[in-house]
Structure 1
Amino acid sequence: MIALSLGLIAAGGAGVAVLLLQVGHRTEVVTVVRDVQVGQVLTGQDLGKASISLDPAVHAVTADDLDQVVGKRAAVELRPGSLLAPSQVTKDSLVKAGEQLVPIGLKPEQIPATALVPGQKVELVHVPAQGEPETDKPGSTPKTLPGRVVKASSAAPGTGVVVVDVATSAAAGPTAAAWVSAGTLRLVLSAPDGR
């Protein structure tokens, strides 16, 4: 009995030691230390390091990879105090060669209620202004231009206006800007697969 009791105590002690080692295991990860806007190039001053107990389900950039993310662009808006995930950075410019960035101010009724995120495909749809004669034949499809969200602001207090930066082709940029100026543009989300 004494030998069995001693064996159980030893096994319990070993189990507690293993548990303490697992709980105490910490990983050094990259953190965001100041606001970084979408598309902004990351510098060493934007990032820091922290030692945390990291759940395997959480994907974070480890401190060993810090040099690999410096110089890349923020794919989303980054906030101080957050961990940096690999999906939040990109080496690509958010506005590609042959594209133009069109800022579009949209009233609440002109924009989907679904939150817009960078990279999301959209259609810029031309609708006639109130009192403007229909230029298209009845039943015809409205004019549309394809675009891609680069950034969307929060709704402005009081007016609810959201400014969306949309990348579109250089040929379509001036047309989209004219539709915005005339107040005849609506934003429609494209299906995730592009169809």
Structure 2
Amino acid sequence: MIALSLGLIASGGAGVVVLLLQVGDRTQVVTVVRNVQVGQVLTEQDLGKASIALDPAVKAVHASDLDQVVGKRAAVELRPGSLLAPSQVTKDSLMKPGEQLVPIGLKPEQIPATALVPGQKVGLVHVPAQGEVETDKSSDDPPRTLSGRVVKASDAAPGSGIVVVDVATSADDGPTVAAWVSAGKLRLVLSAPDGR
């Protein structure tokens, strides 16, 4: 019995040692220390380092790779206190040559319930006002639709629920989209992932 007890104590002690070693296994990762807007270039002042016990399922930028993310752009809005993930930065500009950025304020019924994320392709659909008839189109013609790409979407404004979506579109289409927004004749639809 004494030998069995000693064996159990020894095995329990070994388990505690293994547990302590696992808890002590910490990883140096990159953190966000101040707000960074979508498309903003990251600087060393925006980022910090922390030593944490990192779950293998969590994708985080290791502190040794800090120099590789400085100078890249934020693909999403970054908030202080969060870990920086590789998918949150991009080397590409969110605006391409020949594009215009059109801010679109949309009521809840004018946008999909699905959260809009930077880079998402959208259709900008011209919808006549209620009771309005477009004389240059037959009733069977589909509504005019222009293509765009989400650059940033704000949170819904308290009370009104209005969401402001910054959409990149071609320079030729930008003024048309702005006119549709001004007249309240625009709806936003999500495009399929392959763009069709």
> TM-score, length-normalised on structure 2?
0.91
Alignment of 1:132-143 (within 5 A): 132-134=132-134, 135-143=136-144
1:179 pairs with 2:180: yes
What does the per-residue CA deviation read over 1:134-177, in whole Å, with 9 as the maximum and x for residues that have no partner? 13111111110011111011112222211100011122111111
Report the Cα offset of residue 2 of structure 1: 6.8
Tell me, in whole angstroms, the C-alpha distance in 1 between the residues paired with 2:176 and 2:6: 83
Are the aligned partners of 1:125 and 1:185 in contact in 2 as well (CA < 8 Å)? yes
Tell me, in whole angstroms, the C-alpha distance in 1 between the residues paired with 2:173 and 2:190: 17
> Which stretches of structure 1, 4 residues or more, deviate above 3 A after TM superposition?
1-15
Are the aligned partners of 1:136 and 1:142 in contact in 2 as well (CA < 8 Å)? no
Q: Which runs of 5+ in 1 are unaligned?
A: none
Report the Cα offset of residue 9 of structure 1: 4.7
Q: Percent identity?
A: 85
1:149 pairs with 2:150: yes
Q: Which runs of 5+ in 2 are unaligned?
A: none
Are the aligned partners of 1:42 and 1:73 in contact in 2 as well (CA < 8 Å)? yes
Report the Cα offset of residue 120 of structure 1: 1.1
Aligned length: 195
Q: Which amino acid aligns with 2:151?
A: V
Q: Which residue of 2 aligns with 1:104?
A: 104
Tell me, in whole angstroms, the C-alpha distance in 2 between the residues paired with 1:24 and 1:37: 35
What does the per-residue CA deviation read over 1:39-69, in whole Å, with 9 as the maximum and x for residues that have no partner? 1111111111111100000000111111111
In angstroms, what is the RMSD of aligned CA positions?
Answer: 1.8
Q: Secondary structure at the match of 1:105?
A: strand
Q: Secondary structure at the match of 1:149?
A: strand
Q: Which residue of 2 aligns with 1:193?
A: 194
Report the Cα offset of residue 3 of structure 1: 6.7
Tell me, in whole angstroms, the C-alpha distance in 1 between the residues paired with 2:40 and 2:54: 27
Report the Cα offset of residue 12 of structure 1: 4.2
Q: Secondary structure at the match of 2:66?
A: helix
Tell me, in whole angstroms, the C-alpha distance in 1 between the residues paired with 2:9 and 2:131: 87
Q: Which amino acid aligns with 1:63?
A: A
Report the Cα offset of residue 131 of structure 1: 4.4
Q: Secondary structure at the match of 2:156?
A: coil
Report the Cα offset of residue 7 of structure 1: 5.7
Q: Which amino acid aligns with 2:143?
A: P
**Alpha carbons of structure 1 residues 109 and 7: separation in structure 2 relative to 1, 3 Å:** closer
Q: Secondary structure at the match of 2:187?
A: strand
Are the aligned partners of 1:110 and 1:186 in contact in 2 as well (CA < 8 Å)? yes
